Structure 1
Amino acid sequence: MNNIDEVSSRMLQEVCDNIKTAIEQGRTDIIKSVLEACEGDDIEPNLRKENVLNNPLLEDGTFLYMATKMNQGDVVRTLLSCGADPGVQNSKGLNAIDVATSEQMRLIYIEELLRATANSEVGRVCQLIAAGININSWDSEESKNTPLHWAACYGNKDIVTCLIDRGADVNAMNSCGATALHDAVLRGDKDIVEELMQGGANPLIQAMKGKFGGKTPLDLASQKPEILALVKRFTSFSPSVNGHQDISTLVHQLQHSSSVTSGGSYDRGERVRSVSVESFSSGGRGEMLQHRDGSTVSVHGHGFPSERKQSSRSSNTIVFSSQASLLDLSPRIDQAIENLVRTHVSTPVRPLVTHSSLHLLWPQPRRIVELEGPPFVPQKELHISIIQSPVSIHRILDIWDVCRPTLIALGFDVKIGDVQPSCGRWSESQVECIVNEDLFSYKDSYQIHINSDRARIGAGSLCGLHYALCTFTQLLRLSVAGPGNSVLVPVLIQDHPAMRHRAVLLDISPRGRVPTLDFLFHMINLWSSMKVSHLHLYTQLLPSSEWQLCFTRSEVVSIDRYCQDRFIDLLPVLDVDTHVSYEDLTDMWPAFQEILASFPNLRYVHIGPKLCSLLVRPEEIDEVDGVSSDSCQYASLQELWHHLSLPPNITLMLCSNRIQQHRVQFFPSNVLFVQYGFQADYDFLEWTQDFHQQGTMTCLCPGTASWNSLAGCPEASICNIYHAVQAVGEQGSLGVIVAHWSGSYHLTPHPFSWPGFVVGSGLSWNPETHLDSLHNSLGDLLNTHIFLDSENVIGRVIIELGYAETYALRSCRGQDQSDLSDLPAQDGSALYKLLTDPDNVNLENLTVDMFGRVTKHIKKCQNNLFRAKVQCLFGEMVIQELQLATDLMLTACRIGRTLIGVGTNPNSNMGLAVINLGVCNLPPTFRTDIANKLLAHIEQYKGTWLQRHLPAGLQTSLLVLTSALHRFVPDESQGT
C-alpha cells in the first residue's frame, strides 16, 4: 500500500511540475493535455482533474493563483474554462482574485462571470461571487451592463434569483439608462419579470438613449397584457374601470409606491447615471475589485492602487475596455453623442424591430411592421407581375433593368411574369409591382409588403419604385444564406424621403484626386443605392476660355445619363482658383458656358465659395451714386445670369458664407443659399437664421471631414452632418449636401469619405434615425452596403484609423478627448503634419507613450486588413489604399516619437518639456531609414492612385511626399 501511495505521490508531483512549467512558459496546450489525462473514472482520486485544479498544491496556492499572479492571461482563461475555482485560498487566506491586479486579469474574471451568467450556470456564478468578484460589476465603461442585465437578456429565472439573493442591484442602469427589467419586458419573459418585480424593480425608470430611449419598462409592458398584469400584481392599485386600469393612474400610483425600491420612495435624480467616457489619454478606467473585508482597490491609469472603505450606498464595479473596439481606445463618437444630448439635440423614439435582417436597412425606413407567419423564399428567377397604371410598363421595366446587375450578383434574375389589369387578378408571380401616385400621400413614397407567398412592391412614382427596389435588394442581401438563397421575414415597410435635396458634393478639380469614369460610376451606384438625389460636381477653373473639366464633354453627358437612370440629378459647381481676380472673369465666361451646356438636364447651377466672393464685392456694399448695396447685388446677379446664359427656370445656388458678412438683404426669389460648415460643432441654425427670417431658402453643406489628414475624422463628420440635419428639420431648409474635398495634396484616399456619405444619406432620408444606434452600426453598414466585406473588417478599420488620427490631433493640442471644437483640423491633422512638415509641429503635449499606443492601434488595424474578404468592385484596391494609409500613419508616428526623443528637455522645469529640434538634428541613420520608407511609400502611392484615379492630379499630390523625402535625405547623400 505504501508503494502505491508513493507512486501516486510521484505521479501527482510530476503532474504539478508539468503544469507549473507550462504556466511559466504560457503553454496552454500542455496544460489542456495534462488535465485531459487526469479525466476518467479509473484515475486515482488525488490525480483527478478536480483535485489537481482546486487544491492548493503549490506553495503559493492553486495553479490559478500562480497564473493570475504571473499575469498569464491565456493560461488563466484555460484554467477557468477547465473548471478552476478562483475562491480556493492559500495558507495566508488569499485566493486568485486577490492577486488579480492588472486590467487583463480583471477582464478575464469578469468575462467568466458574464459567461456563466449568460449560460445560466448558477453554481459557477455563486462560486465566482463568493471568490470576491463584485456582483454589480460592469462589462465595460461604454455599456455598463451588470450581470443582472446579462441574466435578463440570456438567462433564466434561477440565475436572476441567484443574483438578486446575493445583492445584485435590481435597478442598476447601464450607460443608456436601461435596467434589467427593460430587457426582461422586451423578451416577454414572465418568470424573470416577476422575479425582478418581486426583488424591487422599478418599472418607471426611463432609459436615456439606445433601443429603449425615452421608454420605461411600463411603456414596453403596455403592449403585453400578461406582463402588464405582473406590474399590477406587485403594486397597489385602485379598482379598475370596466376591468381596465388607466395607464395615467397606474403611473401615478407607481410613483407613490413605497415598495418600488428598498430604500423607500424613489428619487430619479439620485439614480440616473450620466453617460461618460474616460479620456483616452488617462490610460485607466477606475476599475475596482471588491475584497471580502468590504474594501475596494481602485487601480488608475498607471497601476497605482489606493485602499478605501466601501460606502453603504456605493456600487463597486469592474470596468474594462470595450470589446466593440479593435483597439485599447474608447471610441470618441460616444462622447460626441453625449455632447449632443447635453445640448438638447435629441432623436425621437423609433419602433422596436427585433429581426436581425431588418436592422441594417439603410437608410432606415420610416415605418417597419414585423408580421406574423412563415417566411417568404424567393426563387432564383424573380417573376414580376406588373399591375397596369397611368405609368408606362416599359418605364417600370427600365427601373428593374437598372437593378438587375445587383440582383444577379446576389444570385437572382428578373423575368417578366405577366401584366395585370388595373383591378388586379390572381397571379403566380412571386413579385407584384405597381406605380400609382394616387395610392400614396407623398410623391416618392413606396411600400413593400412581404408575406409567405409573395412580395408586393408599390410606389407613388418611378423614383419611388427605384427607392423601393433599393430596399428590396438590401432585404435580399441581408437575408442571403448563399447565392440565390434568401429567406425574407414577413414585413410591411412604408417609406418616403424627409428631404428633397439629399446630395453629395465631389471635388473633381483638375489637380485633385479625380476618380476614373468606371470608379465614378461605381460610386454613383453606391450613392444611388443609399437613395441620394443629387450629385454636385465641383471644379476650380483657371483664367482661360478653354475646356478645363477633367472629363470630356461626351463623358459628362454619359455621367449625366448614368445618374438620370438612377434618379440622381447631376449639377455643376462652378468655382475659380484662389488666384483668380474679378477682372479675370471676363475671359472665363465662355468656359463656364461651355461647361453648363454639357449638362443636358440642368436644373440647378451651384456657384462655389471663391467665385461667389468675387461676385459679392466689398466695394459694392456702400451706396454708390444713390444706389443701394442691395440693388448693386441684384445687378451683379443679373450680370451673372446674362454671362452664363442661364434660362429662367434654372435655380441658382450661391455660397452664403461670404454673402452674410455683408448683410445683403435682397436677392431674387429664384436663388438658393448654400451654407458651408465643416466643423463638428458648427451651428447651422445660428448662421442661417437671418436668411430664413428674410424668407430665403437655404441648403446646408456639411462634410466628410476626410481631407488634410491621413485617415479622416469620422466623429467630426457624424456630428457635423447631424447638426446640419437637425437644422434642416427646424428651419425647413431644402436639404443637405455632404461635401468631400480633395484637400491639400489629396493624400486622403476615398474610402475614408464613406462614413460621411453613409451618415449623410441615411439621416437626410430619415432624420429620426437614432444617432447612438448609427454609431454602433456604422462599421456594419459600411461593410454590408459599401465594401461587401463578409468578414466585417474594412468598415471598422476605416473608423478606427480615424479615431487614432483624431486622438493624436487632440493630444498634440492638449485638447480634452471629448472636445469637438476645431475638428477636423483646417491646417491638417497632427500625423499629416508630422509627415508633410515635421519641423513645424508643436511637440509640447505629445509623449512617447502616446505614439506607442497609437502605433499599436494602427498595427492592429493593419493586421485585421488581412482578414478582409471584400467582394465589391475595386475591392482589392480599397485594401491597398488602406494598407498605404496605415503605412503612412506608422511612419508619421515614428517621426514624432524620434523628434520627442531627441528634443526632450532635461530641464523642463525651466521651460518646455519637449523642443522640436527639426529633422536636421535627427540621427543620420534614422533619416536614411525614413527616406527609404518614404521612397517605398511614393512608389506604392503612384500605383494605388493610377488604379482608379485620373493621372492629372498625381504630380501635385506627389509633391508633398517627395518634399518630405528630400527633407529626410542627409545632406551628404543628396548628390545632384
Structure 2
Amino acid sequence: MFSFLNRNKAPTSTLSTEIKTNETHSNEDQLNSQLSEQNLPLIEPKQDVKLNEYMADAKKNLYEAIIHRRTDIVVSILNQWFKDNQNSDESVKYFFNSNYCENETTSPLLIAYHLKDRDLIRTLLNFGADPGLTDSKSKKCLIELINEDDSADAEPMRQLLSDSFMQSIVQNNLISLAHYLHAGFDVNNSSVSLPDKNSYLHWACMFSNESVVRLLLENGAIINSINKNGATPLHEAILRNNSKEESLKIIETLLIYKSDALNIKATSGIYKDLCALELAQTRSQTEPEIYNLIKEFLSDVSSVKSVPHSPITKALSEPTDKTNSAIIHSLDSISAHNESNVSSSSRKSISNDLENLQNWSSSSLTPLAEPETKPDLKSQLWPQPQSCTILSENERFYLPNTKTQPLFIYFKPPYTYTYMDLINKLASAFSGITFYCIHRPDPKIPYISVSIDKNFFQNQSAYSILVTKSKIEINAIDSVSLQYAFFTFMQLCKIYSRSSIPSLRILDYSDVKYRAVLLDFSQGFYFKYENLLAVLQMMAFYKINQVHFYVKFSSLPPACDKKQWYNYIENWFGLMKFCEEVNLEIVPSIDITTDVAELCDVIIQIKEYLDLFKGFRFVNIGPRLSSLLTCMDDKNPFSLDSTQYMMLCSYLYHNGDEETLSELEKFDKYVLMEYGLKSGTDFGSKSANLYKSGHPFYFCIGSANWNSLLGCPDGCLNNINDAVQRHAIDQPIGFLMCNFSGSINRNPFAYNLNSILMFSGMAWNTKISMTQAKASLPLVMVNHGLISDKDGEIAKCMLELGHVETYLTRIASNSKDYKDLPYDEGSIFTRLLYNPDEVDLDNLDKHIIKKTLFHLRAQQSKLKSLLDNPVNSLFKEVLISTEIAYHLFKFLICLYNNGTKQQFNSNKAVGLHVINIGVANLSQTIRTDLANKLLIIKQEYQSLLSDIYFYESVEEYLNNYFMKLIDKLLVDQDEANLADLVNFKSIRNNGDNGRLRSFSQSSVQSNYYIQYSNDEKY
C-alpha cells in the first residue's frame, strides 16, 4: 500500500541513491562521449526530473499514510526524506508545507487535523510542518481552526499546539516559532495551563537563547508575568546555570524591555521574598557579573531607556534575523549549536536541600540528615523490583525541577509517540513530571533513552533501568513493560524529591502472569465515571493488568426499567479505550442470584452484558452459575468463540472424583478459579485436586474488608501471604483480589484501595515476605499515595483505622491470631450496628477500651484535618464511616459500663467479667442521643453517596443501614415520649432534615456515658 517504502527504482536509502545516481551518470557520460565525437550538443543530466518523480512518490505515500492514520509510516517516510535531502533547498526539504493534497486544496497537516488525529499532528509539527499554512477552501490555518473549535477535541488540540510551541522554544527553533507567531499563535496563551503557571517567556529564559527571548518579547510576551511561585522571567534567567554569556544577554534584553527587578518579589520556592536584584545578590559570590549588570543597569535607567541597545548588548548580541541560515531549525534533532543545558544543577541550592529534608521529616519517616541513612531504596518502590542495586552514590543523574522543566525522551528506532499522552497524563497525576520526545539526543542535555527488544529478557513483563551520570537507559521486552518501567521511574523521581538519582540498576519482571482485581457492582453501587477512572488508573500505576467487573443477574423483575451498567453506556467507549491505553484487560464477571432456577431466565440479560465487552478473552463465572452450567448439556451457552475462556469456580471439584471432573470435559476452554477468601486458607490442599483437571487456575484472594466499617488490613495481608507462599509450588497463572461488598454491610470502597496496594506488590514479586510488606507499606503510601500522591497520609490513616477495628474484633472474639478473617458475623462495629444485643463483652476490659478509644480519636482527628484539603470524594466516605464507628464505640462503652455494674446485682453474672444488658436496658437519654447522631450522619451520608456513586435507592439503602439499631433504640418508649417517637420514625422514613430533641434535660452532659465516677469514664 505504501510503495514509497518498498519501491525498487526510487532510492530508499542514501546508499541506494548513490548507486542509482552513479549508474545514471555512467550511461549519460558514455552517450555524451559519442555525441562529442560527432560534434553534437551534450545531454544535460536529468536530476530535476528524477527529483520531481521522487518527490511525487513521497507526496503520494505521505498522503496515503495520513489517510490510513499510520503515524509510524509517516515517521519512516519523513525520516528517509530528510536523510536523503539533508542538503536540499528548503522547498524540497519541507515539501509537505504545500497544499498538494485533495486536488491541491489542502496540506497534510490540515488533513491530520480534520481526522482529529493528535499523534499525526504532533508528528508533522515536530518534523517542521507550518501551522500557518491555510486551506485554499476555508482560507484558514491550523491555529485558526483550533481556536474556533468549540468541540470536546478542542482542548487537547490546544494543549498539543502549546506543547509543540514549547518544544520549539527549548530547541531554539526560530523558524518554527516564527511560523507559529505569523499564524496568530498567542504568545501569552491563557487558554492552556502550563506547568506551575509559567509563561512561554519563563520557559525561554530557562532553556533558550537570547534570540528566542527577544522574538517572544517583540511579539507581545508579557515581560513581568509571574508563575505559581510569584517569580518573573528575570528570576528564572538569573537562576539558569548554563552559558554565563547567554544568561547575561538574556538578562540584558529583559531589562531593556522593562523587566521589574526591584518591586516584584517571589512568594515561594528557593527565591521566596526576593526580588530579582536581591536574588542576584545572594548569588554574587559565584556569579558577580549578573549582580553587577542589574545594579549598573538600574543605576542609569534613564540612559538605558533612551538607547535601544546598550554597549553590553552590542558587545554580546548576535544577528537576530529570523531567516538567518546559521540557525538550525529542523525538529529532527536538537541542534549542536544549542547552548542551553537543561541540568537540574541549576536548581540545587542550600535552601532547596533544606526544603527536601523538611518534606521528608514532615512525613512519617524518621528525619534524615545523611543520604546513606535513608530507608533502603528497594523498600520504597512498589511493587518492589526483583533486583535493585545502587552503583554509586557520588555519580548522580540530576533531574530538572520537574514542576517547571521537562525530561527529554529519545525512543530508539523504530519508535512512536503513541505512549507520550499516556505517560504525561499519569505523570501529572502522580509525580508532576512533564516529558518531551526528541528525535536525536544531545550530549549537553540529560535525557532518557528508551528501547523495546524482546531479545533482552527471558521473563514476562520484564524491563531494566540503568541510571548513569549523563543519561537514563530504559529497556523493555514490550510496550506494556515499557509502561511499567516508566511507573518505576516516576517513583524514583518522587523518592529522591525531584533532585538527583544515584547511579543504579534495576532489573524487574513479574512472577505472576495475571494480577487481577475484582470490583463488585452486584449491590447496585456504581462509581461515578471519574471515580472509576481514578481507581483504574491507580491499578495501572501499581502494575495490575486485569480488572473483573462483577455483577449478578436475577429472574425477578428489576426495580427500574434501566439495565445494569446503563450509567456507563454513555462513556463506555472512553472506558474501554482508557483501559486499553493503560494495559488493563477488562474481564466480565457474572453470577446469578438464588431466585434463578434455569439459565433461560437470565440468558438474554447475560448476553446483552457480554456484548458490551468486545473482544474479551475471559469471562469469569461465579459459584452459583458455575454449578448451574455443569448440570446443562449445552457446552457453550454464551456463544463464545474458540479464543475465549470461561473461568469456572472450582468449589465443585474439591473432592476430585472422576465423575465430577468429567463434567468439565464438555467445555472446550476453561480456567479454574480457586477461592480462598479468608486468612488462613490452605491453598495447598485445595490445589491438589486442581492438578487432575490439567487446566490452568487462579488463586482468588479476599480483601477481607466486607462486613466491616473500617476494613481489615491484617486479614487481607495474611490472606495474600497464604496464596503467595504456595505460588512457587503450585504455579497458578494468576491471582485475583476479590473486593466483595458483603452480605451484612457494605464498607466504603476506599478501604479496598489499601488492599489493592498490598496485593499489587506481593503478586508482582512473590519473594516479598509479610514482614517486608508491613514495613514497606507506610513508606510507599507516603511517597506515592493511592489515587494521587496527595492522599498518602489518608491511606496510612485508613490502615490504622482498619487495624483498630480488627484488633477490637479479635479481642472480643477471643482470637489469638489472624486466622479466619473476616468473621462470618462481621466485625464488632458491624455487629453493634445490626445486632448489638449479641455482642460479647466478656473479653474486653478497661485498658483495652481506653487504648482503642485513644487510637480511634487520634485517627479521627487526623483524618478530619487531612480531608480539609481537596481529595477524591471516595475518601470522604471514610470520614463518615469513622464517625459512625466512633459513636458506635462510645455506645459500646455504655453497654460495658452498665454491664459491669449490673453484674453486682445479678446472680446470672456469676463468673462473668461483664454482661451485655441489651439496648433496651440503657437509659432513654443514651438511646435518644445516639439516635440523634445516627440521624445527622444519615443525612450527611445520603448527600455524599450521591456524589460518589450512581445508586437508584440511596434513601432505601441508608434506611436499611441504620434501621435495626434505630428500632432497638426506640423500643418501649413510654407514652409521655410518644410524640417524639412518632416524629423520629417519620424523620427516619421520610428523610426529613429535622432532628429529634433529647428526652433528657441533661442530654448535653450525658454524651452516651453513664454518669458514674470519673474513673469509669473513658
Alignment TM-score, normalising by the size of structure 2: 0.55
Q: How far apart in 1 are the matches of 2:926 and 2:909?
A: 29
- The one-letter amino acid of 2:382's match is W
- Tell me which residue corresponds to 2:981: 974
SS at 1:815 equivalent: coil
Give unmatched runs, 5+ long, in structure 2.
1-361, 365-371, 987-1018
Structure 1 residues 855 and 526, CA, compared in 2 at 3 Å: closer, same or farther? same
CA drift of 1:910 comes to 3.5
Equivalences for residues 515-526 of structure 1 within 5 A? 515-526=527-538
**d(CA) in 1 for partners of 2:752, 2:698:** 21
Are 1:407 and 2:427 matched, yes or no?
A: yes
Residue 884, structure 1, aligned to residue 880, structure 2: yes
Return closer, same or farther for 1:544/1:838 CA change in 2, 3 Å cut-off: closer
State the partner residue of 1:777.
Answer: 776
> Would you say 1:578 and 2:590 are equivalent positions?
no
Q: Which residue of structure 1 aligns with residue 646 of structure 2?
A: 652
Question: 1:399, CA displacement in angstroms?
Answer: 2.0
Does the CA-based 8 Å contact 1:705-1:753 persist in structure 2? no
| Structure 1 position 378 matched with structure 2 position 376 | no
Q: Deviations over 1:545-600 (max 9, x none)?
A: 9832354445444322211111110011111123322x2x2131111111111102
Higher mean displacement: 646-655 or 605-614: 605-614
- What is the aligned partner in structure 2 of residue 820 from structure 1? 818
Tell me the equivalent position of 2:545.
533
Partner of 1:470: 487
1:864-910: per-residue Cα shift (whole Å, max 9, x none)? 22453898xx7263553232222111222122222233333224664
Q: Does 1:930 align with 2:947?
A: no
Deviation by residue 1:205-251 (Cα, 9 ceiling, x = unmatched): xxxxxxxxxxxxxxxxxxxxxxxxxxxxxxxxxxxxxxxxxxxxxxx
Q: Does 1:388 align with 2:413?
A: yes
Q: Distance in 1 between matches of 2:440 and 2:408?
A: 11
| Change in 2 beyond 3 A, CA 1:946/1:909 | closer
Q: How does 1:946-961 map to 2 (within 5 A)?
A: 946-952=946-952, 954-955=954-955, 957-958=957-958, 959-961=960-962
Match of 1:490 in 2: 503
**Alpha-carbon distance change, 358 to 790 in structure 1, aligned in 2, over 3 angstroms:** farther
**1:964 and 2:958 equivalent?**
no
Q: Secondary structure at the match of 1:700?
A: strand
Q: Is the 8 A contact 2:656 2:689 kept in 1?
A: no
| SS of structure 1 residue aligned to 2:825 | coil
1:810-863, Cα deviation, whole Å (9 max, x unpaired)? 2222222xx223211122111111122212323333345433332222001112
Secondary structure, counterpart of 2:654 in structure 1: helix
- Which range is displaced more, 660-669 or 773-782? 660-669
| Structure 2 counterpart of 1:490, one-letter code | S
Would the alpha carbon gap of residues 529 and 388 (structure 1) be closer, same or farther in structure 2, given more than 3 Å must change? same
CA distance in 2, matches of 1:726, 1:613: 29
Asked if residue 894 in structure 1 is aligned to residue 890 in structure 2, the reply is yes
Matched to 2:550, the amino acid is Y
Cα 1:561/1:935, change in 2 over 3 Å: same
Q: Which residue is 2:829 aligned to?
A: 831
> CA separation of 1:653/1:551 partners in 2, compared to 1, >3 Å: closer, same or farther?
farther
1:777-926 superposed matches below 5 A: 777-787=776-786, 788=788, 793-816=793-816, 819-868=817-866, 875=871, 877-903=873-899, 904-906=902-904, 907=907, 910=910, 912-926=912-926
Q: Is the Cα contact below 8 Å between 1:536 and 1:570 reproduced in 2?
A: yes
Which residue matches 2:661?
Answer: 665
Which of 601, 614, 618 lines up with 2:628 in the alignment?
614
The one-letter amino acid of 1:477's match is: K
Q: Does the residue aligned with 2:903 lie in a helix, a strand or coil?
A: coil
Q: How does 1:327-366 map to 2 (within 5 A)?
A: 356-366=376-386
Q: Indicate if the aligned counterparts of 1:457 and 1:468 stay in contact, CA closer than 8 A.
A: yes
Contact 1:716 1:820 in 2 (8 A): yes
Amino acid at match of 1:388: P
Q: Does the aligned pair in 2 maintain the 1:353–1:368 contact within 8 Å?
A: no
Residue of structure 2 in register with 1:279 after alignment: none
CA spacing shift, 1:400–1:739, aligned 2, 3 Å: same
Distance 2:614 2:835 in 1: 44
Superimposed CA distance per residue, residues 922-966 of structure 1 (whole angstroms, 9 cap, x where no aligned partner): 100111100001011111222332222222363453112134223
1:359-396 per-position Cα deviation (integer Å, ceiling 9, x unaligned): 3111011111211242112332222111114xxx23xx
Hey, what's the Cα distance between the residues in 2 that align with 1:790 and 1:603? Answer: 36
Q: Percent identity?
A: 26
**Native 8 Å contact 1:791 1:867 kept in 2:** no
SS of 2:685 mapped into structure 1 = helix
Do the aligned residues in 1 keep the contact of 2:427 with 2:490 (CA within 8 Å)? yes
Q: What amino acid does structure 2 have at the position aligned with 1:496?
A: Y
Q: Is the 8 A contact 1:470 1:529 kept in 2?
A: yes
Determine the C-alpha separation between the residues in 2 that align with 1:353 and 1:361: 17
CA 1:374–1:556 in 2, change beyond 3 Å: closer, same or farther?
same
C-alpha distance in 2 between matches for 1:573 and 1:876: 27
The structure 2 residue matched to 1:367, chosen from 366, 378, 387, is 387
Matched AA of 2:552: Q
Is the partner of 2:602 in helix, strand or coil? helix
Q: Match for 2:576 among 560, 565, 582?
A: 560
**Equivalent position SS for 1:782:** helix
* Contact 1:791–1:869 (Cα < 8 Å) also in 2: no
**CA shift for structure 1 position 609:** 1.6
Deviations 1:780-804 (A, max 9, x none): 3233333456696323221221121
Distance (whole Å) between structure 2 residues aligned to residue 745 and residue 516 of structure 1: 24
Mean Cα displacement is larger for which, 925-934 or 756-765?
756-765
Q: CA deviation at 1:682?
A: 0.6
Structure of larger gyration radius: 2
Higher relative contact order (CA 8 A, sep 6+): 1
Q: Deviations over 1:27-52 (max 9, x none)?
A: xxxxxxxxxxxxxxxxxxxxxxxxxx
Displacement of 1:430 in angstroms is: 0.7
Query: Take 2:850 and 2:628, find their aligned partners in 1: how far apart are those partners?
Result: 48
**Amino acid paired to 1:926:** I
Relative to the length of structure 1, the TM-score reads 0.57
Conserved in 2, the CA contact under 8 Å of 1:476 and 1:488? yes
User: Partner residue of 2:616?
Assistant: 602
- Rounded Cα–Cα distance in structure 2 between residues aligned with 1:700 and 1:852: 40
Residue deviations 1:184-205 (CA, integer Å, cap 9, x gap): xxxxxxxxxxxxxxxxxxxxxx
Aligned partners of 1:368, 1:778: CA distance in 2, in Å? 18
Which of 447, 455, 465 is residue 430 of structure 1 equivalent to? 447
CA distance in 2, matches of 1:801, 1:713: 9
Contact 2:516–2:546 (CA<8 Å) still a contact in 1?
Answer: yes
Change (3 A) 1:822 1:408: closer
Task: Map residues 299-338 of structure 1 onto 2, 5 A cutoff.
Answer: none
Counterpart of 1:504 in structure 2: which amino acid?
A: V
1:811/1:845 contact within 8 Å kept: yes
- The change in CA–CA distance for 1:752 and 1:411 in structure 2 (over 3 A counts) is closer
Could you say what secondary structure the match of 1:371 adopts? strand
Instruction: Show structure 1 runs of 5+ residues with no match.
Output: 1-323, 327-351, 618-635
